[in-house]
């Protein structure tokens, strides 16, 4: 996406900036002749950067003119003094050192002068500290927001279990750890029997309630170091850490009994007796690090469990 730049100044200023800023011609550049006109243009279409002729900005009152608008607070504003009225000899060294500092990666460079300029330099330093702290606060808030959004993206909204994307991230890590530490890992794929009948007879809202209650039962009956995922539709995947084949079979059989023993209560319909079929696969040394072979074997065993009558567990042979 092309970045937007707004030049605020007269024609001579805009031409000067176009000459001074390398690569400006490759960007989308708009021009405003006054600070007021620029404000309206920014409200209509906020740019990424504003380069303004300093003399147009009413003693640099950017905060009053622009920062009062919430949608403009994040725009980076650069004011350029194109006609300085002080001798070049007095600013040459500070300019050189400022340029070097910014090139080296600094965000600001403050020149602490003699007694005559002490008040102004202290003011400048305080403003730079204030701006730095504010940007740091905004950055931390953005990082927290991004972390929260990332977590939300890994959760299934219906069941509040981890979703398939989370499984794609988690399973390779579990496999790597199992291989490196030399312990067993089993994977269980679970599917609700005759789930289509529930949706067809009672509606999808009833089907959603069944999935939500099933997710609760799975969570309540798993060990703290095992993880449950909603794989898709009425299918769930369980990663069983430090679990050999026979122990995985027993866990699967226990889940089958627990789920079938207690009917599922629905808001507007009679309670339903639900059963599940389970396919189990155990990690092998030749399995790929992403877990695709492990998932495939569990899925094949789930198919066999369905074919053999449902409400049962089928394990790798």
27 burial via Cβ count (<10 Å: 0-12, 13-18, 19+):
middle
2: left (phi over 0), alpha (psi -120 to 50) or beta: beta
Beta bridge partners of 30: 6
Cβ neighbours of residue 155 closer than 8 Å, sequence gap 6 or more: 161, 162, 163, 166
Cβ atoms within 10 Å of 203's Cβ, excluding its own: 14
Please write down the HEC assignment for all residues of 207-257.
Answer: HHHHHHHHHHHHHHCCCCCCEEEEEECCEEEEEEECCCHHHHHHHHHHHHH
Q: Would you give the DSSP letter of residue 192?
A: E
Q: Give me the catalytic one of 141, 234, 247, 284.
A: 234
d(Cα 29, Cα 76) in Å, to the nearest integer?
15
Q: In this structure, are residues 274 and 308 in contact, taking their beta carbons and an 8 Å threshold? A: no
Q: For residue 33, indicate whether it is catalytic.
A: no
Active-site amino acid positions: 234
């Amino acid at each position: 996406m092309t970045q937007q730049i707004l030049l605020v100044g007269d024609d001579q200023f805009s031409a000067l900036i176009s000459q001074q800023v390398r690569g400006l011609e490759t960007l989308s550049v708009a021009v405003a002749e006054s600070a007021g006109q620029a404000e309206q243009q920014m409200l209509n279409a906020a740019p990424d950067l504003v380069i303004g002729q300093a003399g147009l900005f009413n003693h640099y009152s950017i905060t009053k003119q622009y920062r009062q608008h919430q949608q403009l607070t994040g725009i980076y504003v650069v004011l350029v003094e194109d006609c300085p009225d002080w001798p070049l000899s007095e600013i040459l060294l500070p300019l050189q050192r400022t340029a070097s500092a910014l090139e080296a990666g600094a965000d600001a460079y403050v020149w602490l002068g003699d007694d005559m300029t002490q008040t102004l330099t202290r003011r400048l330093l305080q403003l730079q500290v204030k701006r730095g702290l504010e940007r740091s606060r905004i950055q931390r808030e953005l990082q927290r927001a991004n972390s929260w959004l990332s977590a939300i993206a890994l959760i299934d909204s219906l069941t509040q279990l981890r979703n398939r994307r989370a499984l794609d991230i988690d399973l390779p890590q579990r496999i790597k750890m199992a291989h490196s530490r030399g312990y067993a890992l089993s994977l269980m794929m679970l599917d609700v029997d005759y789930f289509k009948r529930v949706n067809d007879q009672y509606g999808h809202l009833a089907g959603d309630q069944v999935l939500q209650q099933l997710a609760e039962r799975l969570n309540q009956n798993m060990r703290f170091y095992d993880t449950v995922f909603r794989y898709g539709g009425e299918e769930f995947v369980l990663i069983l850490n430090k679990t050999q084949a026979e122990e995985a079979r027993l866990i699967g059989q226990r889940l089958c009994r627990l789920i079938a023993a207690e009917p599922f209560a629905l808001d507007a319909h009679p309670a339903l007796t639900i059963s599940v079929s389970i396919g189990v696969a155990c990690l092998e040394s030749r399995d790929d690090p992403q877990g695709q072979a492990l998932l495939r074997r569990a899925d094949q065993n789930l198919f066999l469990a369905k074919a053999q009558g449902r409400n049962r567990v089928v394990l790798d042979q």
